[in-house]
Amino acid sequence: MTPDKDPWNRKRRAAEQDGGRHGLWRWVILVAGVGGLVWLLVSAFPQRQLDQTDWAQLVKLAAILVVCSSGIVFLRRARIGETLRNLAIWAGIGGVVLLGYTFRHDFASLGNRLTGELMPSQAIEVGEGVVEIRVGASGHFSVTATVNGRPVDFLIDTGASDIVLSPADARRIGYDPARLSFTRQYQTANGTGRGAPVRLDSFAVGPIAYEGLAASVNEAPMSESLLGMTFLRRLDSYEVRRDVMILRR
């Protein structure tokens, strides 16, 4: 029996054509649904103004979603329940992508705040040249700075005139206290202390970075290095709001 005279073959081709038409309609419905979701998001959050770059990225994401979902066109005689489930899955994926892109800055800000709560000594960038430091459990502000390429923990002390490194921190960033000259004298709560002047190759608190800052290496051991006015005076401003210190360059 030839293929043209085979009734089963004709039925199979008819079923495939019917499945293709139904698949195309499912795909059109999905694309329309994603477009409607975009319109709803833009209408619901008018304060989220998208610029040309945002729209370009949004169109690219939508195009990727359309290409990935186009496989629905090739479904053959799928059950209505399965089809609706697939449509719901793709619509959900599209919604998550669109929501994530629309609120990406808010999510980044939330992540920064969580980082600040969990690790208060981390300087959190909240704007261009602006960082926030949260108060520690001791009630003082501490920050991890990058000095000569290495992390160093500092206690922020507005009563200290210099950046004062402990001998241990000085060794870690390349200064040998045994080779330094302790020619500076400081008045502290424990009496007179001595320090050795050094110049730091690089110093950064988050995005706020300087080169060639003057500092001192303390002669006596210290539990923590001090970040004093040598650094703070270079800022445009610094302030404390309740449990947050804000540094601006």
Q: Is residue 53 part of a domain?
A: yes
Judge if 76 and 134 occupy the same domain.
no
User: Would you put residue 175 in left (φ > 0), alpha (ψ -120 to 50) or beta?
Assistant: beta
Q: Is residue 152 part of a domain?
A: yes
Lookup: tokens for 200? 């730091």
Q: What is the CATH number of the domain that holds 234?
A: 2.40.70.10
Of 50, 75, 102, the residue that ends a domain is 102
Judge if 49 and 125 occupy the same domain.
no
Tell me the C-alpha to C-alpha distance, in Å, between residue 195 and each of 159, 167, 179, 188, 225.
Answer: 16, 10, 13, 12, 12
pTM comes to 0.54
Average of per-residue pLDDT across 137-154: 91
Strands 208-218 and 191-205, by their bridges, are: antiparallel
Buried b (16+ CB within 10 A) or exposed e, 97-128: bbeeebeeeeeeeeebeeebeeebbbbbeeee
Per-residue pLDDT for 115 more than 90? no
Judge if 156 and 84 occupy the same domain.
no
Q: Is residue 111 part of a domain?
A: no
What are 61-98's pLDDT values in tens digits? 666 666 665 555 555 445 556 656 666 676 667 666 66
Judge if 202 and 80 occupy the same domain.
no
Judge if 153 and 95 occupy the same domain.
no
Half-sphere exposure (Cβ direction) of 70: Cα atoms closer than 13 Å:
6
Please report the pLDDT score of residue 86 as a whole number: 65
Spatial separation of the C-alpha atoms in residues 25 and 160, rounded to whole Å: 72
Helix (H) or strand (E) holding 240: strand 237-241
Please report the pLDDT score of residue 70 as a whole number: 56
Of 76, 102, 128, the residue that ends a domain is 102
Helix (H) or strand (E) holding 87: helix 80-102
Residue 208 pairs with which residues in a beta bridge? Answer: 205
Domains contained in the chain, number: 2
Q: Is residue 107 part of a domain?
A: no
User: What's the CA angle centered on 109, arms 236 and 242, to 5 degrees?
Assistant: 55
Domain that holds residue 133: 118-248
Judge if 14 and 135 occupy the same domain.
no
DSSP letter at 47? T
What is the pLDDT confidence band of residue 249, given thresholds at 50, 70 and 90? confident
Helix (H) or strand (E) holding 184: strand 184-188
Per-residue pLDDT for 38 more than 50? yes
CB 199 within 8 A of CB 214: yes
Per-residue pLDDT for 231 more than 80? yes
Judge if 228 and 137 occupy the same domain.
yes
CB 247 within 8 A of CB 130: yes
Judge if 39 and 126 occupy the same domain.
no
